[in-house]
Amino acid sequence: MANENKLLTGMLVGALVGAAVSLFDRRTRQDVVACGKNASSKIKGYIKEPTSFTNEVKQKVEDVKDTVQEVSEDISFVNEKVKELKETTPQIVNLLQESKERFISKHQRS
């Protein structure tokens, strides 16, 4: 258990040191400030109009549902094609074998 705590503590310290070092870069500091302002602005907007937040969440949920539905349809299509291929492959192998046998027997007679 003590090792797990050391690992978690080490990861946390490493992340904090990494974040602090990255802030030495001017562009990174500007980006962090801009992201903070943007997040603050969004939160204030959600506080003023909570329905906008719920509407955005509902829209994201709908988008995810649509994406899942599309992926599900794509998987079904691929499964159907694989099934067709499994059924067709032995027929093609037999056809090729017959063609090979006819070709060999024709050339052996000549």
In whole angstroms, how far apart are CA 4 and each of 8, 16, 81, 100, 102? 6, 18, 48, 66, 71
SS3 110: coil
Report yes or no on whether pTM surpasses 0.75. no
Predicted confidence (pLDDT) at residue 19 exceeds the cutoff of 60 = yes
Confidence at residue 5, expressed as pLDDT on a 0 to 100 scale: 79
Interhelix angle 50-109/26-48, rounded to 10 degrees, is 120
Q: What angle do CA 45, 50, 55 make, to 5 degrees?
A: 100
Predicted confidence (pLDDT) at residue 90 exceeds the cutoff of 90 = no
Confidence at residue 53, expressed as pLDDT on a 0 to 100 scale: 92
Condensed to tens digits (0 to 9), the pLDDT of residues 23-54 reads 898 999 999 999 999 999 999 999 999 999 99
For every residue of 27-73, DSSP letters joined together read: HHHHHHHHHHHHHHHHHHHHHH-HHHHHHHHHHHHHHHHHHHHHHHH
The residue-averaged pLDDT of 72-93 equals: 90
Confidence at residue 4, expressed as pLDDT on a 0 to 100 scale: 65
The residue-averaged pLDDT of 85-105 equals: 84
